[in-house]
Amino acid sequence: MAFSHGIIDMLLAAFFFSLMAVFVKACGSRIPSQEIVLFRSIIVFVITAYWIHRKRLPFLGNNRVYLFLRGFFGFVGLSAFYYTLTHIPIADSVMLQYTSPLFTALLARFMLREHPSPRLWAYFLIAFIGILFIIRPGFNLQFVPASVGLLGAMGAGMAYNLVRKLRETDHPLNIILYLPAVSILFSLPLVIPHFVMPRGWEWFMLLGVGLSTQAAQIFLTRGLHRETAARATNVTYINVVFSVLWGILLWGEVPDRRSIFGAGLIILAIVKIGKG
């Protein structure tokens, strides 16, 4: 049975989000994480605003309160993820970020009245176990980065549910626009006092962060419009598999048998989730 269009959108979103993480990690050794958030937000804002103008959509959207909240909680999740990427190992950072589908599913019960079946919960658990096999997070995470990561995952879960809630009132481009707009509003005062001028290749990495994020946001928003929040966001577990592949291609990090087994569990769960 073929995947639904919504599941395909979420798979593409996961790929581009994994590419974004590569760019963030590459330039985050010198550039502060909040500055990366700002550059990313400016790039995405300009591109999205252009397309809104081309399509002659109302620039501020319709449900402006929920749009702002989507932007705010998305900013919290984004800032936390970039912070952890630049302060702790990428495996631990991804692990913390990928608790967000669990928060999404839990919050969806109250915000969207969505109730995943026990069978789908079982597949979610299989995917989560697969992640543990791949990244095998240690128990030595520093308290502050770990707490920030979990807070960010909760913020991302809230943002995903708000995207689902906005599907009946606003165009996907308006939903996308509010994340960079709100992020610029909140990140600019944090960046100005500690601004670090990018050098050479760092400019290309920052551009890559923005462009890969733009692609990921488009597919993410379309996927969340087409699928239930819990099913759609759990499909993005495939991001961990993409991260393993990036490690092989860019850093020569060949996964061991446990990582391969974990990837197999994730792919199995995603196939089952995709078939509904």
Judge whether 260 lies within some domain: no
The reported pLDDT for the residue numbered 229 is 67
The reported pLDDT for the residue numbered 186 is 96
Q: Dihedral (C-alpha) 259, 262, 264, 267: value to the nearest 10 degrees?
A: -120
Q: What is the Cα–Cα distance from 162 to 183, expressed in whole angstroms?
A: 16
Judge whether 255 lies within some domain: no
Task: Give, in order, the Cα–Cα distances in Å from 67 to each of 13, 57, 70, 174.
Answer: 20, 15, 5, 8
- Percent of the chain at pLDDT exceeding 70: 90
- Note the pLDDT tens digit of each residue in 115-147: 767 887 888 788 788 777 766 665 555 667 878
- Note the pLDDT tens digit of each residue in 182-202: 999 999 999 999 999 999 999
Q: What is the pTM assigned to this prediction? A: 0.79
Q: How many domains does the chain have?
A: 1
Judge whether 17 lies within some domain: yes
Residue given tokens 């196939």 in the structure block: 271
* Residue 21, token pair as written in the block: 């993480």
The reported pLDDT for the residue numbered 63 is 92
209 contacts: CB under 8 Å, gap ≥ 6: 20, 23, 24, 27, 36, 39, 40, 43
Judge whether 61 lies within some domain: yes
Going by pLDDT thresholds of 50, 70 and 90, the confidence category of residue 41 is very high
DSSP state string for 5-38: HHHHHHHHHHHHHHHHHHHHHHHTTTS-HHHHHH
Judge whether 229 lies within some domain: yes
Judge whether 123 lies within some domain: no
- Note the pLDDT tens digit of each residue in 219-244: 887 887 777 766 776 677 788 788 77
Judge whether 224 lies within some domain: yes
* DSSP conformation class of 192: G
Give the mean pLDDT of the chain: 84
| Alpha helix stretches (DSSP H) within the chain | 5-27, 33-54, 64-87, 90-97, 100-111, 118-135, 143-166, 172-191, 201-226, 229-235, 238-251, 257-275
Length of the chain: 276
Judge whether 250 lies within some domain: no
- Note the pLDDT tens digit of each residue in 79-116: 999 998 888 777 677 777 877 766 777 777 777 677 76
| Domain that residue 202 falls in | 7-115+139-233
